[in-house]
Structure formats: C-alpha cells, structure tokens
Amino acid sequence: MARGVGGAVALAALLAWPAIGQAQSLVLDLKHDSVAVSVRDLLDRRGFIDALESGFPLYMEYHIALRRPQSFRDRTVWDEVWELVVVYDPVRDRYTVRTPPDSIEIVPDRRRLVARLAQVSILPFDGPPQGEFYYEATVEARMLSDDDVDEAFAWLRGEAPDSGGVKDPGVVARVARRFLMRVSSLPHLQLFGRTPRFSR
C-alpha cells in the first residue's frame, strides 16, 4: 500500500512540471522533388532541457509522408517513421543520442545537442514518375515513453515494475495512458508541416 502512495506522489510530481513555450518550428524545404526536414529551437525554452537534465529521456518521433492530391481524399504514396532518443549523463555531463536499430552518438555539450536536434534530414523522392504531389510531416517530442507511463500506472496499483502486471493493459488503460501523456505538464509537443504542391 505504501508503494501505491509513493507512486501517486511520483505521478503528481510529473503533472506539476512547468509548461514550455511555443517557439519551436518544423521546417520542410523542397529541393527539386526531395524534401529536407528539420526542427528548430526545440531547446530554446527551459522546459525540455530541464526535464532532460532531471533524468527524463527525450523522445522524438518523425513521420514524413509523400501524398498525392485526389478529388475525394488525398492518397499517401509513401511514408517513413523514425525516432531518436536523447539521454543525459550527469556524471560525464554529456548527452547520448540513440537512433534505431543500434546507432549511438555521444554529444559533448548542450550547444552541440541544439545543433544535432536541428540537423537536416534529406529524404529523396520515392513515388510515381509523373503527377502532382506534396510532403506532409508530423514531429512529436515528449519526455514520457509508453513504458514509462505503464510503470506509473503499476506504481499506482502497488505493483513492482517487473511484476508483469501491465504487459497487456487493455483498452481502458491504453486510453488512460494516452490521456496522461496529453495532460501531463512535462514538456511535450507536436509540430506539423506541409510543402506546397509540386509536379513531376
């Protein structure tokens, strides 16, 4: 029972984190028929960097789609999703950037981390040889993974993190988990971008 109370206190601490500003931007730049993608000023406000240096990993998920306009509903021709994770090492005062499946990059200081997160990714065109198209992108940055929130629910139920009690939380718990991620004041945001239409 005491563990459940402790979990409630921990969860309350998560919900009390100060909110961040809205200066961040997603930049999509057409280069012929390829697209360059970058996120600007993510760490400009203290929210993300404070949470990161307090032990919360930063998760960034990119979803880029090539779409083709149609009269009824635009069609997705091609899309790609990738994720990176940033972890702060307080002992060495440096950051680790991980990208699946097993890439690890050591970033020695905050200034270089800012540059790394603003790094441009260029995606070549991968669609039909002719037609009208546009690119659409969503980038989500958050400090909580699904597993982190599962553990928070386990604490509230008084379960040990490795007990296996949240392996399959069910529909209600999944909805509650998503709601928690949205209402939590830990830094989290979604950025959207779309290019003008272009023809080949």
Both tokens assigned to 68 = 């083709």
Torsion of CA 174, 57, 116, 184, to 10 degrees: 50
Give residue 17's pLDDT.
42
Q: What is the 3-state secondary structure (H, E, C) of 31-43?
A: ECCEEEEEEECCC
Q: What is the pLDDT of residue 179?
A: 58
Nearest CA-CA partner of 200 in 126, 122, 133: 133
- State the Cα–Cα distance between residues 168 and 166, nearest whole angstrom: 5
Query: pLDDT digit of tens for each residue in the chain (200 aa)?
Result: 333 333 333 333 444 444 444 456 888 888 877 888 888 888 876 788 888 888 888 888 999 999 999 888 999 999 999 888 898 999 999 999 988 777 889 999 999 998 888 888 888 888 888 899 999 999 998 886 656 666 655 655 555 545 444 444 455 555 555 555 555 567 788 899 999 998 88
Handedness of CA 107, 113, 117, 121 (dihedral sign): negative
pTM over 0.75: no
Instruction: Using alpha carbons, select from 66, 58, 100 the residue that is nearest to residue 82.
Output: 100
> In Å, what is the CA distance from 103 to each residue of 29, 91, 114?
26, 22, 19
| Amino acid at residue number 74 | D
CB neighbour list of residue 199: distance below 8 Å, 6 or more residues apart: 131, 132, 133
Domains and CATH numbers, the chain: 20-143+186-195 (2.60.40)
